[in-house]
Structure 1
């Protein structure tokens, strides 16, 4: 399985400020919400300093990105 790590950075108010692999047309928060709904929080790991990562299969991310822009 080819996996990918998506990095997330949160603002001080708890909203998502930056997230990798974000499709054009979605805000960072919208992309985080879509990932959370589709993948679940089991693939998410929280880090200190307002950061975290999703670790998921590359083909799953590509499918979600395609669906998000369709």
Structure 2
């Protein structure tokens, strides 16, 4: 991914995270049995955000991000 694509993905992900946070904070109302799992979407979005942030850091600095535990 290029720098532009990474920034666009981060922007879209921030919108999805804001929507998921807004919907997850709404009070529960009885209704249909199946509901969208907003907390799961929020958790997965945060993991993706951290990954994209690491990718953005590697693009800006020119140094690849190396995980500590994988030697």
**TM-score, normalised with respect to structure 2:** 0.28
Whichever structure has more strand as a proportion of its residues is 1
Whichever structure has more helix as a proportion of its residues is 2
User: Which structure has the bigger radius of gyration?
Assistant: 2
